[in-house]
Copies of this chain bind each other. A is one copy, B any other.
Amino acid sequence: MSATIKDVARLAGVSKSTVSRVLSNSGKYSQEAKEKVMQAAKELNYTSNAIARAMVTKQTGNIGFLIHHRHEPVLSHPFYSQLLSAVVETATVYNHGVLVFTDRDIQKCIENFQAQRVDGVILASRMTRDILERFSAANIPVVLVNHSVKVENASYVKNDDYGGAYDAVYYLLKQGHRRIGLICDPDERQRYEAYRQALHHHGVAYDEALVYFTDAKVEQGKQGARYFLGQSRLPSAIFAANDMTAIGVIKELKANGIQVPHDVSVVGFDDIEFASLYEPALTTVKVDKTLIGELAVRQLLRHINSESRNEDLGEEITLPASLVVREST
């Protein structure tokens, strides 16, 4: 179908070896050879075959992106779509493609990545230790995003969840709030801990009844709001540790005639694009999804390009999170 290196060689009157050298710009070749090859390649409309190259170099030039959340696809979640967008753009800059899989069956995803021989993968979902070990066994470099299961020789790019959450709660405290509700994904330990500590440091007793664990979705936020609505006394502020949840909370409160921020203050987490668009605009913890994505691929590429030495390249980058005060508090 499409021309191969062999066709080019024949037309240029040189060997395949020479063609390969000039096309990949490696090794030595004469200016004359180069011209003939280039000319022939253009004439034949030659495009390189990454598959065949990968066969020998063991590098496909593709990185994998894996995402799932409790067996549900979340690729369209604003947080992840922005992350993926940054990943794809950065990878493209470095001439890498990104291969995406989401599947309820995570084992199948791993197999696919292995079969496709990706050079490395970015894990954007919560993974268990044994899953990480499979990657390690398969000798596939990984970098984990916003993740805390430690495993050797993996890199981490994360947001300062603890700091961000602490700031959020501290801010609420400073505003005079003492009854502060928390709605949090049970996997977000850092945010939960920060909430506890901030309270503790400021002499506010921790009240279990003020904490509601649930998924990071709008509907779950509504549920959380209902949970608080069911209590004899409403918290004066709610830290919904995710913007989608925060929006659900506000909507449900409004539906029950409760004004935000007049009656209850709400702060979210993530600063998705919609946070500033919503009304009231969300006070939230800003997470730099674009930078996270960018650093994740950079870090991964570093692993990939230094496979030779078996040193532990595991590095951990934590990006600062900052509170953005808007209208919901």
> Which A residues contact B (CB, under 8 angstroms)?
1-2, 45, 47-52, 54-55, 60-62, 73, 75-76, 78, 81-82, 84-85, 88-89, 92, 95, 97-103, 109, 111-112, 114-117, 137-139, 218, 247, 251, 254, 273-274, 277-279
Q: Once bound together, how far apart are the Cα atoms of A95 and B115, in whole Å?
A: 12
Closest chain B residue to A77, Cβ basis: B81
Residues of B within 8 A of A98 (CB): 99-100
Decide if A92 touches B84 in the complex (CB within 8 Å).
no
| In the complex with contacts A52-B55, A55-B55, A85-B73, A99-B99 CB distance below 8 A | yes
Residues of B within 8 A of A115 (CB): 47-50
Q: How many copies does the complex hold?
A: 2
Rounded to whole Å, the gap between the CB of A231 and the closest CB of chain B is 25
| In the complex with contacts A78-B78, A99-B62, A101-B92, A139-B1 CB distance below 8 A | yes
9 CB-based A-B contacts, threshold 8 Å: A50-B117, A61-B116, A75-B81, A75-B89, A76-B78, A81-B85, A84-B84, A92-B102, A97-B100
Q: Which of B2, B50, B116, B279 contacts A97 (CB 8 A)?
A: B116
Q: Once bound together, how far apart are the Cα atoms of A82 and B75, in whole Å?
A: 8
Residues of B within 8 A of A112 (CB): 95, 97
Closest chain B residue to A114, Cβ basis: B47
Q: Which of B51, B138, B279 contacts A55 (CB 8 A)?
A: B51
Rounded to whole Å, the gap between the CB of A14 and the closest CB of chain B is 22
Residues of B within 8 A of A101 (CB): 88, 92, 97
Rounded to whole Å, the gap between the CB of A69 and the closest CB of chain B is 12
